[in-house]
Amino acid sequence: MKKSRGDNIIDFSEALCSITKDSVAGAAGEPLIFRGWQKQLTRGLFAEKPDGSLKHKVGLIGLPRKNGKSAWLSALALEHLVLGPNGGETYSCAAEKEQAKIVFGTAKRMVEMQPELSEILDVYRDAIYNPKTGSVYRALSAEAFSKEGLSPTFIAFDELHAQPNRELWDVMSLAMGARREPLMVAITTAGVKSDSTGKDSICYQLYEYGKRVASGEVVDPTFFFAWWEANPDLDYREVEAWDQANPGFGDIVAKDDFASAILRTPEAEFKTKRLNVWTATSDTWLPHGAWDSCIAERELVPGEKVVLGFDGSFNGDCTVIVAVTCEEVPHVVPLHVWEKPEEAGADWQVPILDVEEAVRQACKNYEVVEIACDPYRWARTFQVLEEEGLPVVIFPQTASRMTPATTRFYEAVVNKNLSHNGDPTMARHVGNATLRVDQRGTRLAKEKPGSTRRIDLAVSAVMALERAVWWHGQGNFMPVVFDLSDLGGNYEDQDFAGFDN
């Protein structure tokens, strides 16, 4: 069994912390008892490394309202104040100070209700002080400029989704740097994906990052991620969706409360606050779970007949190569991804020579019957590759081409007429893709212009599948190859704006 400080924290909380107001969880003054899922969550968050130090430095926990997250987080903050390091600094943070005071106020009330805590802690209006260790607990709001000079050991971020920007998060993250075992825990419901700047909110960025860690795409043992949400395909009015999203449903979450709330709460707000589902401005592309249902444990065989799909950017986004087999049930495998790192500056560029060599190597490893590419900004590369005898075919990402290709890919996925290898990066790109609908048809697009949520693997797979299906139906007939010498001209019905330009 993995080592954890969680059981010590559970023991402290259940022995010294009280319910502060009458609720489904119990009457005010009764001992705070962690439920099974709360105990598991606590043990996971406070897991230890082999040397006994804390494994995690940052935690993101997503829960709908009414699951007792404020009381749980207050107990954690108090345990750290009482049993944490000498000179510890504990802070409750939120978008507004009144919100930050919810967790702080709950902790303050717990101290006042428990004589043993009152004897060792001094309670003030805006602070709780431990004179024995010199540790302090305060509530902070979102004015990041006033937080310089702090040196926190434990940070309780409440409702992170409401932060207007990422300034407070970044200030507090940097402030932890001088501490030996700092821990910042954000607990939140879902919200709108964008913040006041129009970019992805810090909460949604961490949510996406957490999914990448959970899938194994990113290895980061310092990041803890736990998120409860309803399957978006479920009817939000059904008890099954309520139960799926709320670990305390029927226990500390009252069923009658849900039945009442759904009659007076707008659908979007109910889904966000009660089912923990992120709100979006565009329609999702694939039904929930459809892509995962097509996973097959198979690898490409050397010499296998494939079409390569290429979607490229120069410096602002992502460049990818995807292989799709030419058979009755095509198999989709991403071969290479050059994705701009989050920390990269404006001077980052795709390594063009590496991309060209990767295409050549793929043509050596497999029987590549076609390289389907949109040559926008990559004309020189594909002129070079064509001159070397590689089967380059132009596939402009125009509405007239992408609409039927998108429809074909969608039908293949939902009917399980294709398979893929379960690559987590591709799953992320497919999950990020939304649909653009206008008078010219339906096709893939980012959720909003300038978004950093990549969809390039999805786009290239759509292109490659369209051509792979053609090849399977046509046997060994050669496709029409466009004249690459005329790449400088305009494409008819040109429409690149929905992708990476």
- Looking at the structure, tell me whether residues 112 and 95 fall in a common domain: yes
Q: The CATH number of the domain where 109 resides is what? A: 3.40.50.300
Residue 22 included in any domain: no
Number of domains in the chain: 3
Within 13 Å and on the Cβ side, how many CA atoms surround 406?
25
- Looking at the structure, tell me whether residues 329 and 411 fall in a common domain: yes
- Looking at the structure, tell me whether residues 266 and 314 fall in a common domain: no
Residue 361 included in any domain: yes
pLDDT at 198: 65
- Looking at the structure, tell me whether residues 207 and 239 fall in a common domain: no
pLDDT at 236: 87
H helix runs in 121-266, sequence order:
167-175, 202-215, 239-245, 255-264
pLDDT at 477: 46
- Looking at the structure, tell me whether residues 217 and 296 fall in a common domain: no
Residue 431 included in any domain: yes
State the maximum Cα–Cα separation within the chain, in Å, rounded to a whole number: 86
Residue 166 included in any domain: yes
Q: How far apart are the first and last CA of the chain?
A: 50
Q: Please answer whether residues 135 and 113 qualify as being in contact, where contact means their C-beta atoms are separated by less than 8 angstroms.
A: no
The beta strand positions in 103-229, using DSSP E, are: 122-123, 127-130, 135-140, 154-158, 183-188, 223-227
pLDDT at 1: 47
Residue 491 included in any domain: no
CA distance 337 to 324: 15
The mean pLDDT values, 10 residues at a time, for the chain of 501 residues are 88 95 81 95 96 96 91 96 96 86 93 95 94 95 70 95 89 91 95 75 94 93 96 86 91 81 77 84 70 93 96 79 96 94 78 94 96 88 93 89 90 93 93 74 72 88 96 64 43 38 34
Residue 90 included in any domain: yes
Residue 7 included in any domain: no
- Looking at the structure, tell me whether residues 326 and 181 fall in a common domain: no
Residue 306 included in any domain: yes
- Looking at the structure, tell me whether residues 203 and 274 fall in a common domain: no
- Looking at the structure, tell me whether residues 163 and 214 fall in a common domain: yes
- Looking at the structure, tell me whether residues 268 and 177 fall in a common domain: no
- Looking at the structure, tell me whether residues 121 and 242 fall in a common domain: no
Name, in order, each residue with C-beta under 8 angstroms of 7's C-beta and a sequence gap of 6 or more: 43
Distances 337 to 89, 351, 443 between C-alpha atoms, Å: 42, 11, 22
- Structural domain boundaries enclosing 112: 55-227
- Looking at the structure, tell me whether residues 189 and 239 fall in a common domain: no
Q: The CATH number of the domain where 366 resides is what? A: 3.30.420.240
- Looking at the structure, tell me whether residues 85 and 143 fall in a common domain: yes
